[in-house]
Amino acid sequence: MKIALVSPYDYHYPGGVTKHITNLSRRYRELGHKTTIFAPSSQSGENGLADMIQLSSFVVPVPYNGSVARLSFSPFLAARVSRRLRQERYDILHLHEPVTPVLPWMVMRGAQKASPGTALIGTFHSYQEEHHWAALPALLTRSMRPILRRAVSHLDGRIAVSEVARDYAHRASTGEYRVIPNGVDAALFGNPSLEPLSAYTDGLNILFVGRLEPRKGFGYLIEAYARVKSALPQARLLVVGPHTPADRRPFERRLRDLSAGDVHFIGYVPEEDLPRYYQSCHIFCAPSVGGESFGMVLLEAMAAGAPIVASDIEGYRSLINHGAEGLLIPPRDAVALADALTYLLRHPHLRQAMGAQGKATARHYTWERVADQVLDYYGTVLAAKRGAARTFGGQRHPQETLPSEGGPG
C-alpha cells in the first residue's frame, strides 16, 4: 500500500505523536509498504527520515492543554498539499490529530478533490479534562466548530489511542472508533545487553522524562524529591527532556530554596541513547496532573524493567495497575509522591517484582503488534470505501480484487 502519515506538529521537536508516526512508518516499510510523512518542520535536513516531506518551516508555538503545540499556519500549505496529492495516489491518508489546525484540514480538503479513492483515517491522541475547544480560543471560535466538524466528518475511519482519548474525541467527531494503543520499541528499551550509565551507579536514581510543562507536574516532583533526599541522602534525580535553560531556571531556584542537591538536568537525549537512562534508574516517576491520554514514557520505562510511581489519572490507569507495575498516587500531592518514592527506594525486592511485571505488560504493546492492528484497520476501511464505490448505482462486483489490498504494494 501507499500510505501518507500526517502530523500537524513540528517534526523537529520530539513528542509522542512524532514518535508514534515515526515508528509506524518504519514498521510499514519493513513490511514492504511505501510511506510518506507530511509534516511541518522548523529545521531542514535534521530529521534523518527519507520518507518525510517538509511542507513548511514556518512554525508557531501555541499554548494548548498545559503544553505547547508547535503548529504551522503557512499560507502555502494548501497549495503544497494539493500539488502533492495530485502527483501521488495514496491508498491511505492517515491523519494524526485531525482536529488540530491546520495541516490535517488542508489534507482532508485536498483529498476530497484530488484523491476520491483514498481512505481518510484519523488517529486521535489527545485528552484533557476540559473541553477541547477551550484550549485554542483564538483559533477555534464558535463559528468555526461546525465547519471543522463537517471537515472531520469526511473521515472514513477513526482510531483512538485509548478509551479516554476515544471518549474525548467523540465530542469533536461522532462515529465509531477503533481503539489501538501507542506502542513501544521493546527490543530497544529492553535490550538485556545495556549497562547503566557509569556516572550514575553510586546512588538511588529517580528518573523523569518529559518537557518541563505544567501538565507534566514536575514542580510537584521537585517538592517531593526534597523530602526524599532528606530521608535518603543517596537519592538522585535525573531530568531528561527537551528543556531550555529558561525552562529549568524556576525549578533550579526552588531546589536551592529547598536545599535539595543532586538534581541533574540532562536535557534532550536522542532516542537511541534514552534506554540507558531507563536502565540507570531505580524508579521512573511520571507526576503528570492530567491531560494524558496514554503515557508512552510509561511503556518505555516498563519495557526497560523500571518500576513506576505515577499520578493516578485516567490516561495512566489504562496502563498501570497499582501495586503491579508500580504505584499510583493522587496528582498534585507532593507528600504522597514523596512517600511512594521513599517506600520503593527502601524496598528493592518490590522494585524488582514491579519491573518484571512491567516488562511482561510492555510485551503486549510492541510496535509490531500495534502496526499490524493499524494495517488491519486500514484494510477494513479501504475495502468498505471501495466496496461502497462499486455499489454506486446499484451495481456490485464482489469478485473484483481491491488494488493494493492483502499485502505490500
**CA separation for the pair 285, 247 (Å, rounded):** 19
Residues 163 and 217 in one domain: no
| Residue 168 within any structural domain of the chain | yes
With CA atoms as reference, report the closest residue to 306 among 269, 348, 356: 356
199 and 247, same domain (yes or no): yes
Residue 384 shares a structural domain with residue 275 = no
Q: Taking a C-beta distance cutoff of 8 angstroms, is the pair 158, 121 a contact?
A: yes
Q: Clarify whether residues 143 and 163 are in a common domain.
A: yes
Are residues 332 and 270 both part of a single domain?
yes
For residues 100 and 199, state if they share a domain. Answer: no
211 and 118: one domain?
Answer: no
| Same domain as 47, residue 107 | yes
The answer to whether residue 120 is domain-embedded is yes
Tens of each residue's pLDDT in the chain, 409 residues: 999 999 999 998 888 899 999 999 999 999 999 999 999 998 865 455 668 888 989 999 888 766 788 899 999 999 999 999 999 999 999 999 998 889 999 999 899 888 888 999 999 998 875 544 444 444 444 555 665 676 678 899 999 999 999 998 887 778 899 999 999 999 999 999 999 999 999 999 999 999 999 999 999 999 999 999 999 999 999 999 999 999 999 999 999 999 999 999 999 999 999 999 999 999 999 999 998 988 999 999 999 999 999 999 999 998 999 999 999 999 999 999 999 999 999 999 999 999 999 999 999 999 999 999 999 999 999 999 888 655 544 443 333 333 333 333 3
Any domain includes 94: yes
This prediction has a pTM of 0.87
Domain identity same for 287 and 381: no
Domain with 130 in it = 2-183+367-394
Give the CATH number for residue 303: 3.40.50.2000
Are residues 135 and 9 part of one domain?
A: yes
Say if residue 232 is exposed, middle or buried (CB neighbours under 10 Å; 0-12, 13-18, 19+): middle
Q: Given the C-alpha cell 503488534, which residue does it identify?
A: 369
- The domain tally of the chain equals 2
